[in-house]
Each structure stands twice: as structure tokens, then as C-alpha cells.
């Protein structure tokens, strides 16, 4: 116990420095003031419109990547890049992009010559509120998503609100779902603000609040022993939806559905008020996301899939449920208890 407390305090002290900027010109100014010409910037190709190569005095490389190429081949390409630029352990790397690029480059950096420090500039809503915080990185292989990776925190995370202006709507929605999940497990203000706001976009303040939810949870449980599991709310059923649809349904949409079913289970098991479920359904309607899903796999197959969940053991799975907004609990349910709800 004492060891765990000391370990968490150690990581708390090492926590990342977060910088919040509103505009792209503030971002360019900050990057020029903070990084030397020796730093290497690895930038998502979809952000070349920012013309960072013309505006920042550093080594710049654009990288084209997506979920399908989030693999060892891409990691090797990044390692090559680091060798070609002669980087060593005192070098600095800045990674600008979405969660895929951040995960792969952070893995490559954290293993290159036993670790070079790196800074994130997340450019999607999901990577701002989720992927860039907490130190997890990695890539996919034939055994599944993010199966190889490390826990290594970035030196700093620079969150620039204006980057979201060009983010395609579908990707924006993925981030909205993770953000509302943060609100549901830990911050009623985020939840209320999102379900009552008429416009699609979220305010910078709500993004910052969402980041704080993740940082607080991670600082209490860096290596996902217990509390960090709360961040999996909606993901137990969400992963089933993704697998059942052979990944035809996007992660954001799958988690949106997963949250709906886990709210239903919360009502049944913990008495979560029905109004919360209704508010959430209205919100999904507003952002034009589905909430129900017809599983094509039978119960046996679904149980088999559930057994592969990292939170499963014996006859059941640890699932995050809610008493109320901001009041979650990890409960062990039998596989059948989960399957019964999602098949009706
Ligand atoms: N490490 C973690 O803790 C963690 C947490 C959650 C998710 N993830 C990972 O994050 C990944 C998903 O990340 P994502 O949702 O950011 O997707 P993504 O990285 O695939 O980005 C989505 C798309 O938007 C483009 N893009 C990025 N920023 C843009 C901008 N500002 N304007 C226009 N286009 C832009 C990208 O090129 C890409 O085509 C998954 O691989 C997931 O495993 C990691």
C-alpha cells in the first residue's frame, strides 16, 4: 500500500506541464520561443495547411498515418526518422496530430535509445481531452488494438483551441463522446453544459475541465490498478459493438452506444435516474449519433468476446456503472447480466 502511494506521488511530481492557447498564431509564437532549431517536429500530414515548416525554425517532417497503419511498420519509419536526424537523449521531439500519430510517435520516442523526451500538440478533440494525457502509447498488431506500448508521459502538452476549426465533424464527434464520458464519471458541469448547449462545438473551458478529469484520475492511479478503470465507462459494451460490427462502426459511435447500454445497466443495478438516460439520448440525437445496436453475434459468441475484455475474470467482468452523474462505481457483473441488457 505504502509503495503504491509513493509510486503515485512519484508520478504526480513527474506529471506533464499543460499549456493552453487559443489561436494558431499564439501556437506558432510559443513553438518558436520554446524550441530550438535542433528540435524535430513530426506533424500529421493533414495539418500541412498550417505551414509550420515555413513558420517555425526547426527540423520538420510530415507523417501520413491512420488507424490501419498504426503498426510496427510506422513505428520503424519513425525510428528511422530519429536516426536520420541524429537525435540523442537530450534532443527534443514535438508531435503535432491526432491520437494515432501521438500514440505511435510517443512509443517510438520512448523506446529510441531508451527514451527521448517529447511534447504533444494534440490536434483532434479526442486527443486533446484523452489520448495526450496519462502516458499510454502504443500501436496495433494482429492480436488487437494498442497491444504493444509503454507508459511514458510527455514533457508537455500544448492544447490549442483553434486547431479544432478544421477537424472533420465525424472526428469531432468521437471527441465529444469521450468528453461527455468524463463529465458523467466525474464532473456534472461538463455533462450539463454539453446536454444543454444548442451548438455542436464545445467551449474551451469545457475542454479544459475534461482534461482535468483525466489528469486527476491518472494522477491517483498511473498504472491502471483501480481508479483509472473509471475511464472505461461505456467501453465494455462499446468494444463489443466494435468487434461485433467487425470495426465497421467507428470507435466514437461504438462508445456512444456502449454508454447508453451501460446507463441502462446502471439504472437496473444502481438505480440511476431515468432522466439522465433521456438527457443523454437527446444529446445523441442532437449530434446525430445512434444509440441502439442490433448485435449479430449470439449470446455464446458475445460471452466469448467479453471474456477477452481486460477487466474480465472467471464468470464475470468489472464494469463501470453510475449511481448518479459524477458518482461511478466499478461493479463485477456476470457475463449473462451484461448480455441480457444488450440483447433487448
Ligand atoms: N494513449 C491514450 O491514452 C489514448 C486514449 C484514447 C485514444 N487513443 C488512440 O487515439 C486514436 C484516435 O485518435 P483521434 O480520434 O485523434 O484520431 P486520428 O489521430 O486518426 O485523427 C483523426 C483524423 O483527423 C485528422 N486530423 C487531425 N487533426 C486535424 C485537424 N486539426 N484538422 C483536420 N484534420 C485533422 C487526422 O489526420 C486523421 O485523419 C486511436 O488509435 C486510439 O487508440 C489513445
Domain tally, the chain: 2
Is the Cβ–Cβ distance between 306 and 265 less than 8 Å? no
Answer yes or no: do 239 and 177 share one domain: yes
Backbone angles phi, psi at 110, to 5 degrees: -75, -15
Answer yes or no: do 328 and 198 share one domain: yes
Give the model's pLDDT for residue 1: 55
Answer yes or no: do 209 and 122 share one domain: no
Answer yes or no: do 195 and 209 share one domain: yes
Answer yes or no: do 80 and 184 share one domain: no
Task: Please give the residue range of the domain that contains residue 122.
Answer: 2-166
Give the model's pLDDT for residue 315: 83
Query: In the sheet where 327-334 sits, what is the strand order?
Result: 312-313, 316-324, 327-334
Please, which residues bridge with residue 59 across strands?
40
Give the pTM.
Answer: 0.94
* Ligand 1 pocket, residues with Cβ under 6 angstroms: 44, 46-47, 66-67, 70, 97-101, 103, 123-124, 126-127, 130-131, 134, 136-137, 145-146, 163, 166-167, 171, 174
Give the model's pLDDT for residue 311: 85
Answer yes or no: do 289 and 300 share one domain: yes
The pLDDT tens digits of the residues spanning 76-103 come to 999 999 999 999 989 999 999 999 999 9
Q: What is the CATH number of the domain that holds 146?
A: 3.40.50.1970
In order of 21, 79, 114, the CA distances from 117 in angstroms are 21, 14, 10
The pLDDT tens digits of the residues spanning 243-299 come to 999 999 999 999 999 999 999 999 999 999 999 999 999 999 999 999 989 999 999
Which of 187-196, 197-206, 268-277 shows the lowest per-residue confidence on average (mean pLDDT)? 197-206
The pLDDT tens digits of the residues spanning 142-161 come to 988 899 999 999 999 999 99
Pocket-testing residue among 16, 24, 42, 103, ligand 1, by greatest number of atoms within 8 A of Cβ? 103
Q: What is the CATH number of the domain that holds 273?
A: 1.20.1090.10
Amino acid at each position: 500500500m505504502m509503495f503504491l502511494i509513493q509510486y503515485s506521488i512519484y508520478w504526480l511530481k513527474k506529471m506533464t506541464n499543460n499549456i493552453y492557447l487559443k489561436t494558431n498564431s499564439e501556437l506558432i509564437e510559443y513553438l518558436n520561443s520554446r524550441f530550438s532549431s535542433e528540435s524535430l517536429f513530426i506533424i500529421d500530414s493533414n495539418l500541412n495547411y498550417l505551414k509550420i515548416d515555413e513558420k517555425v525554425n526547426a527540423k520538420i517532417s510530415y507523417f501520413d498515418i491512420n488507424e490501419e497503419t498504426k503498426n510496427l511498420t510506422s513505428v520503424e519509419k519513425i525510428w528511422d526518422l530519429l536516426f536520420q536526424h541524429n537525435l540523442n537523449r537530450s534532443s527534443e521531439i514535438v508531435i503535432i496530430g491526432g491520437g494515432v500519430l501521438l500514440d505511435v510517435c510517443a512509443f517510438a520516442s520512448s523506446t529510441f535509445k531508451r527514451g527521448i523526451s517529447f511534447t504533444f500538440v494534440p490536434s483532434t478533440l479526442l486527443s486533446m481531452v484523452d489520448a495526450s494525457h496519462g502516458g499510454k502509447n502504443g500501436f496495433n498488431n494482429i492480436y488487437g488494438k494498442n497491444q504493444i506500448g509503454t507508459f511514458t508521459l510527455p514533457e508537455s502538452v500544448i492544447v490549442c483551441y483553434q486547431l479544432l476549426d478544421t477537424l472533420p465533424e465525424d472526428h469531432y464527434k468521437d471527441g465529444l463522446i469521450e468528453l461527455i464520458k468524463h463529465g458523467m464519471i466525474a464532473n456534472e458541469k461538463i455533462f450539463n453544459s454539453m446536454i444543454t448547449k444548442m451548438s455542436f462545438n464545445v467551449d474551451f473551458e469545457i475542454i479544459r475541465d475534461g482534461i482535468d478529469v483525466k489528469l486527476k484520475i491518472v494522477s491517483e492511479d498511473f498504472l491502471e490498478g483501480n481508479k483509472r478503470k473509471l475511464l472505461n465507462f461505456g467501453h465494455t459494451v462499446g468494444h463489443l459493438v466494435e468487434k461485433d460490427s467487425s470495426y465497421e462502426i467507428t470507435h466514437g459511435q461504438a462508445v456512444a452506444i456502449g454508454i447508453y447500454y451501460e446507463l441502462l445497466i446502471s439504472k437496473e443495478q444502481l438505480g440511476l435516474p431515468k432522466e439522465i438516460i433521456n438527457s443523454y439520448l437527446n444529446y445523441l440525437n442532437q449530434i446525430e449519433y445512434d444509440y441502439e445496436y442490433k448485435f449479430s453475434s449470439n449470446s455464446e459468441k458475445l460471452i466469448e468476446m467479453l471474456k477477452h475484455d481486460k477487466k474480465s475474470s472467471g464468470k464475470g467482468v468489472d464494469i463501470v456503472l453510475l449511481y448518479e452523474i459524477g458518482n461511478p462505481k466499478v461493479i463485477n457483473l456476470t457475463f449473462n447480466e451484461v448480455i441480457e441488457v444488450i440483447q433487448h
